[in-house]
Structure 1
């Protein structure tokens, strides 16, 4: 089973490398930042489950291949795991829609970094995104969602490790470990609370930059490109 575990770890490292490290080397924004230039909790959650599940599938497939199994992808993906992905991705899509709506209707109250000068620490994703307290106060809805997500990720990884250890031959791997229905409900409730927490619109102007300024910079850059198609913006 050592081959399966190593393939799992290597696959996870490759996914993280492609999603986070490579974009920064190319001078582009990594996948964990949103259109505001801030680290996004919904993006981090989707990334976490993507790394865990895709790397696990890759590791199991390689383990079956190394064991001489012809049907390397002949294992099952439980419905609970599909529902888990649906909740995570669906929540991320709704979160993006809310962000776009607020960035469009009240950009002067939405915190954002200047175009090309994205900064902030990773844990800033747990703070308020709008109003005078943006970046200063912890958002309780975000905090609970992050803690529950990390807890469930760790529990699922532990469950997967135990399931793999219980199989003597990688060729005998029947499928990904199932996800408890109770945990699935907990995840759904947590994401519902996270999305409802995005509804209020705190008043005030954030320090360090707003979405209005970022949009103005984008518009100015577009005007430069239109005026001189061959010119490169600074």
Structure 2
């Protein structure tokens, strides 16, 4: 009985790993693409589908559910598990096919020269942090006594509404289902406490919707890039800074929502202090986004680079402290000065960031194309009929106009080429003949 399941899993492992390579090897001639790189796109979709099926098979094997990998130790579908699973499948399939396509199509020295998006790496870090922090946040509620009356009322309502096999139980204030088959998709947006098990948890709903939008938008962008980009990829699609900040705020709200007590036994928490701690966490998350944007515009040689890197680390620690404060407000020995100290650090960091100069960063200077490369491009433009171009090694206005005209003639968009100027001119030197 076990042999067929092993055969199926082995088949999909091979499909995810070998099928993309086979597709790309069969179509190694760029002249057969006719303007659309469908072999690379099909290879990516094949890898993506095969990885999703492997996740489904793992869930069926371990939990007996199609979405079993999303079922946590409380026998509920976990939002943090859903998010980290989606990003793992999407990013692994994308990176694997991108590198594999370059290996099959180009020289080995350039195959791994792909510019990965640091915003995407940061977003995966947020997902991993939420996955780790979520159980830690719930453990605080599990240590507190729960409401027996809430469990009796909401447990019975949940039993009837979701047609569960057994009545749910509780660990402290945290609701626990007793059978993996009782997991329902509604768990992704319902409260996790005994007191709010029948209520839609808005931070969870917000995080679910934002995750769905970002994963879908980035997946479509990757698919379009694989189909229309240059023969050899030198970068993956960039994740917009606004989307990264939106995801960071939703992650903060998600973790903070797990820390806020909902039981009637926790009436000692002051609403105004909770609001202060939540506001401080959101301010720190917003400041971290600003610092990350400034850091991305700097190179290691920039005088501001080290200051921005240290400030970003301090801001991230401050954001985590602000989130943790909410779970500590009802402690008898809690000192309200802790909130003031966090707010003071955020104010100081914002004031320091506002006072920074806004002149050109070192990365902008390092990104400038060399005079030799510009001369090469200008000479080729002149040779193909752009007589207004002067071969002087300076990327002046006539040169830019001629480049745009030549790209239009060849049907190439500026976004298809590398965003950094020095790489952009290197590509132009190969394209303009």
- Give the structure-2-normalised TM-score: 0.43
**1:193 partnered with 2:256:** no
Query: Contact 1:7/1:62 (CA < 8 Å) preserved in 2?
Result: no
Query: Contact 2:71/2:180 (CA < 8 Å) preserved in 1?
Result: no
Q: Cα deviation per residue 1:160-189 (whole Å; 9 max; x = unaligned)?
A: 2232233242xx101221111111111111
Shift of 1:120: 2.6
Match of 2:73 among 17, 32, 35: 35
Match of 1:90 among 111, 114, 129: 129
Match of 1:55 among 88, 93, 103: 93
Distance 1:14 1:25 in 2: 16
The structure with the greater share of residues assigned to helix is 2
Other structure's SS at 1:111 match: strand
Query: Contact 1:78/1:177 (CA < 8 Å) preserved in 2?
Result: yes
Other structure's SS at 2:82 match: helix
Shift of 1:105: 4.1
Structure 1 residues 117 and 142, CA gap change in structure 2 (3 angstroms): closer
Match of 1:181 among 223, 226, 241: 241
Distance 1:23 1:161 in 2: 27
Where in structure 2 are the equivalents of 1:157-172 lying within 5 Å? 157-169=219-231, 172=232
Q: Cα RMSD over matched residues?
A: 2.2
Distance 1:120 1:49 in 2: 22
Shift of 1:43: 0.7
Query: Contact 1:131/1:201 (CA < 8 Å) preserved in 2?
Result: no
- Give the structure-1-normalised TM-score: 0.76
Task: Give the corresponding residue for 2:427.
Answer: none
Higher relative contact order (CA 8 A, sep 6+): 1
Other structure's SS at 2:74 match: coil
Query: Contact 2:63/2:69 (CA < 8 Å) preserved in 1?
Result: no
**1:74 partnered with 2:113:** yes
Other structure's SS at 2:175 match: coil
Task: Give the corresponding residue for 1:9.
Answer: 45
Structure 1's unaligned 5+ residue stretches are 205-234
Shift of 1:154: 1.4
Equivalent pairs, count: 200
Where in structure 2 are the equivalents of 1:125-164 lying within 5 Å? 125-134=188-197, 136-164=198-226
Query: Contact 2:58/2:69 (CA < 8 Å) preserved in 1?
Result: no
Structure of higher CA gyration radius: 2
